[in-house]
Structure 1
Amino acid sequence: MSKKEERMKWIKLIVLILGGGTIFKLSSLKDAFYVPMQEFLNLTHTQIGMAMSVYGMVQTIGNFASIYIADRFSKKKLIPLSLIGVGVVGLYLSTFPGYIGILIIWGLFSLFAEVIYWPVLLKAVRLLGTEDEQGRMFGFLEAGRGVVDTIVAFSALGIFALLGKGAGALKGSIIFFSAVTIAIGIISYFMLEDDIIKDVDENGNKISKNKVALKGVVKAIKTPEIWIVSLTIFSIYSVYCGLTYFIPFLKDIYGMPVTLVGAYGIINQYGLKMVGGPVGGFLVDKKVKSATKYLRGALLVAAIAMGGFILLPHESMNVYLGMSLTLGFGAIVFSMRAVFFAPVEEIKVPREISGAAMSIACILGYSPSMFAYTIYGSMLDKTPGLQGYKHVFMTMIAFSLLGFVISTILLKIINKKNNVMHEEEVNA
């Protein structure tokens, strides 16, 4: 690869990172503006929850369509369409529509961001890097998104404060999010190239692109390794969902001051993403040389670390020590989250069905978002206090051990496949 091609590869990755760091800001408006949403959009806790449920339902059902869409149409069209679509819907949100309008908006956010954009982004990142660069590519994607997340979120908060923290201020922040997303969509159109979608079969006969895409869907669904990778992601994401409960845990058990809650939340969600991404990518590409091996080891470390954490005398410990320990555990999880799509390269998924493979991984891998928070939350409601949190942490250990077992099976499949390929090369 020439220096110019290498430079263009990293420029394209930056463009993808910019999109990945902004497209979810409007759908995650509650993260920074929960109380203003209640006050100025006249929403109750239940109504905000319903909007998120609509988002999750569209995501889950829509990702089945993504298996076809992601390989049928070029990223040059899909990525700008998604970003501009989210931005335009955001402009409608800035008019402060009624509750039904809010539900429709969050459904559209999910359609553009989760169904159309995300699997295509993952496919684009996979195809940008060689087999030896997958850890770095996905690691930089996660870290870069953390940086963009932080800059854009704090800029919106700054606008909100500057405009007086009223209804007009919330409207200004929403318009800012929308404008940035649309601008990056336009930039993406000019910076990304068209995908080459194969329209000939193995014998060189011309066939329709629809037929090629459908053939790829069937091939991906019939590839068991893709489902095993998806189950590994499922396990890690189930543990990741549990990180949310470190905030109430530190507040309830350690008495963490309200002034520290916001700072801890920012570090927990954005700071760890920036650190975990490059660390995970570096360890995968330079040290362990295998994303699956790394995930397997990290899942075991996570289970052991959480087991030790449960046994600590939390009610007599210093809040800063508690914060440090929970952030340390979060860093392990974020380092896994940064690279948990990288094994798709290790199982030798044909590059022409990358989109279908990533869509399947999204469907199963992200499915814990539909039930994990409910499970963890019900544990805390049924058993208030330290014991309830211990139940949550033990469940996180169980998911870590499940992931360890699944990644062990995956590693055996990969080693077997590599040995067969090696023998074929020797015999040839």
Structure 2
Amino acid sequence: MKLKDIILLIALGMAGGAIYLLPYMKYYFYNQMVDSTGLSGQDLGFLVTMYGIAQMFVLLPGGIIADRISSRTCICLSLIATGVLTIIYGYVYTSYIASLVIWFLLAFTTLFLAWPAILKSVRAIGGENSGTAYSIYYASNGLTGALGGYLIIKVYSACIATSGSSAYTYGMITSALVNIIIALVLFYLLRDMKESASGASKMPTVKDSLTVLKLPIIWVITLALFCTYTLYVGMSFFTPYLTDAFHMSNETSGTLSLVRSYVFMSLTPLTGLIADRLLKSTLKWFMLVCPILIIVLLGVIVVGENVNVVMLVSSLTMLIAFFICTIYSSMFSILSECKIPIAVAGTAISLVSIFAYTPDMFIQPLFGYFADKNQYQFIFCGLILASLLAGISCFILLKMNKRKAITD
């Protein structure tokens, strides 16, 4: 892979890391959000549910449009719009109704055009090395998200003693500035993104784009991605688990959450290389990781909530998070491995995302309910089931690929 391609992937990762700082803020800012807004874990889950409801309406048309216009335009405008919404939220966060509206609108600024444009571009740049390309993207994504989230936490912590309720507003302004500054940087770095990501000499028609709806393999891919995203969602609840069950401080658990959710992404290029070069298949990497996740999650359940084993449990959650990040960072390379045409990749990505990200609609509030009731064992059991189904669906995809290769 050329240096220019790596730089472009890093730039795209910066966009992905910044634009989702607000929609998924509960991943690294959970306890601070509860303290400042007065909302429960279930209430925070319903914010993401609102985001998930909106995505059902914006993803497919956004993907069709993203197959036709400049990725640079889609991404930069989306970052700036997200920054503006973040500033507004910083002044209305005390109203739950206003917060729900903000999260609904965030789907338009972060998912409508940005999401398919970013991921289609990553696949186009990666070519046959899509596993590595997505891993580099998510490494940059993770580092950007970690730095942005850490900055927000530090600004909030520094201001809480002197500014009181205004500390939350300052944190949101910090998040907005990260988005806007990165948008300006990317406007220059992605000046040739349209040519780099074009990937096809002929513009697909709407009918061509909608043919992906008829592909059986798309729906199996969707199941694999649904389970993978469920695992990623569940990972965010390690933060309240460590504070509730083991009395870890908010700042320490929030920092560990940043490591789990973002820093581990910086290590995923290594596993991307393993999938591409050693295993020659992202699907095989999934089938290797899923049994490991099941075993370690069972270990967390068996160990229980004894304060004397806090270091062991913390280590187990970090191990789980690392492996979840490796499959989450490469899950969209399954589309390439299953030979979904690049010309309609934006539509395909949006279609599978509509269903793959539905955990935001019901898993988030459900797990939030379990967290509020201190019933974390049910969350861990749900993650074990998701690991099992992800492994099975990837096995089925491998069989479908082999059958298709024989018939071709």
CA contact (8 A) 2:237 2:371 kept: no
2:326 is matched with 335
- More displaced, 158-167 or 287-296? 158-167
When residues 307 and 39 of structure 1 are mapped into structure 2, their CA distance, relative to the original with a 3 A threshold, is closer
In structure 1, C-alpha distance between the alignment counterparts of 2:70 and 2:155, rounded to whole Å = 36
Deviations 1:322-360 (A, max 9, x none): 111221122111111111111111111111111011111
CA contact (8 A) 1:67 1:217 kept: no
2:336 is matched with 345
The two structures, once aligned, show a CA RMSD in angstroms of 3.0
When residues 172 and 396 of structure 1 are mapped into structure 2, their CA distance, relative to the original with a 3 A threshold, is closer
2:213 is matched with 221
CA contact (8 A) 2:199 2:342 kept: no
The structure with higher relative contact order (CA 8 Å, sep 6+) is 2
1:91 partnered with 2:87: yes
- How far the C-alpha of 1:410 sits from its partner, in A, is 0.3
CA contact (8 A) 2:63 2:112 kept: no
When residues 128 and 43 of structure 1 are mapped into structure 2, their CA distance, relative to the original with a 3 A threshold, is same
2:112 is matched with 115
- How far the C-alpha of 1:260 sits from its partner, in A, is 4.1
CA contact (8 A) 1:119 1:362 kept: no
- More displaced, 107-116 or 238-247? 238-247
When residues 322 and 18 of structure 1 are mapped into structure 2, their CA distance, relative to the original with a 3 A threshold, is same
2:259 is matched with 267
2:273 is matched with 282
1:295 partnered with 2:290: no
1:179 is matched with 177
Paired letter, 1:68: I
Aligned partner of 2:350 among 347, 359, 375: 359
1:393 is matched with 380
Paired letter, 1:327: M
1:371 partnered with 2:358: no
1:105 partnered with 2:102: yes
- How far the C-alpha of 1:309 sits from its partner, in A, is 4.3
In structure 2, C-alpha distance between the alignment counterparts of 1:93 and 1:313, rounded to whole Å = 38
CA contact (8 A) 2:301 2:377 kept: yes
Q: Look up the SS of the partner of 1:73 in the other structure.
A: coil
Percent identity at matched positions? 27
1:204 is matched with none
- How far the C-alpha of 1:167 sits from its partner, in A, is 4.6
Show the 5 A alignment for 1:123-202: 123-131=120-128, 133-161=129-157, 164-192=162-190, 193=192, 194=194, 196=198
In structure 1, C-alpha distance between the alignment counterparts of 2:87 and 2:327, rounded to whole Å = 35
1:404 partnered with 2:402: no
In structure 2, C-alpha distance between the alignment counterparts of 1:379 and 1:37, rounded to whole Å = 18
1:16 is matched with 12
Aligned partner of 2:59 among 36, 42, 63: 63
1:424 is matched with none
Aligned partner of 1:75 among 71, 77, 81: 71
CA contact (8 A) 2:142 2:262 kept: yes
Show the 5 A alignment for 1:225-264: 225-254=217-246, 256=248, 260-264=252-256
Q: Look up the SS of the partner of 2:332 in the other structure.
A: coil
In structure 1, C-alpha distance between the alignment counterparts of 2:377 and 2:158, rounded to whole Å = 42
In structure 2, C-alpha distance between the alignment counterparts of 1:218 and 1:236, rounded to whole Å = 25
When residues 372 and 21 of structure 1 are mapped into structure 2, their CA distance, relative to the original with a 3 A threshold, is same
CA contact (8 A) 1:82 1:113 kept: yes
**Structure 2 portions without partners, runs of 5+:** none
**Structure 1 portions without partners, runs of 5+:** 201-208, 422-428
CA contact (8 A) 1:86 1:108 kept: no
Structure whose alpha-carbon radius of gyration is higher: 1
Q: Look up the SS of the partner of 1:339 in the other structure.
A: coil
When residues 37 and 316 of structure 1 are mapped into structure 2, their CA distance, relative to the original with a 3 A threshold, is closer
1:203 is matched with none
When residues 44 and 307 of structure 1 are mapped into structure 2, their CA distance, relative to the original with a 3 A threshold, is closer
In structure 2, C-alpha distance between the alignment counterparts of 1:178 and 1:247, rounded to whole Å = 24
Deviations 1:64-114 (A, max 9, x none): 322322213221221112112112223333444873544333222221102
Q: Look up the SS of the partner of 2:237 in the other structure.
A: helix
CA contact (8 A) 2:200 2:342 kept: no
Q: Look up the SS of the partner of 2:340 in the other structure.
A: coil
- How far the C-alpha of 1:123 sits from its partner, in A, is 0.7
Paired letter, 1:113: T
In structure 1, C-alpha distance between the alignment counterparts of 2:168 and 2:305, rounded to whole Å = 39
Q: Look up the SS of the partner of 1:334 in the other structure.
A: helix
Deviations 1:301-327 (A, max 9, x none): 222333344344664852111111221
In structure 1, C-alpha distance between the alignment counterparts of 2:101 and 2:371, rounded to whole Å = 31
In structure 1, C-alpha distance between the alignment counterparts of 2:306 and 2:35, rounded to whole Å = 36
2:313 is matched with 322
In structure 2, C-alpha distance between the alignment counterparts of 1:391 and 1:167, rounded to whole Å = 34
Paired letter, 1:224: P
- How far the C-alpha of 1:138 sits from its partner, in A, is 1.0
Paired letter, 2:82: V
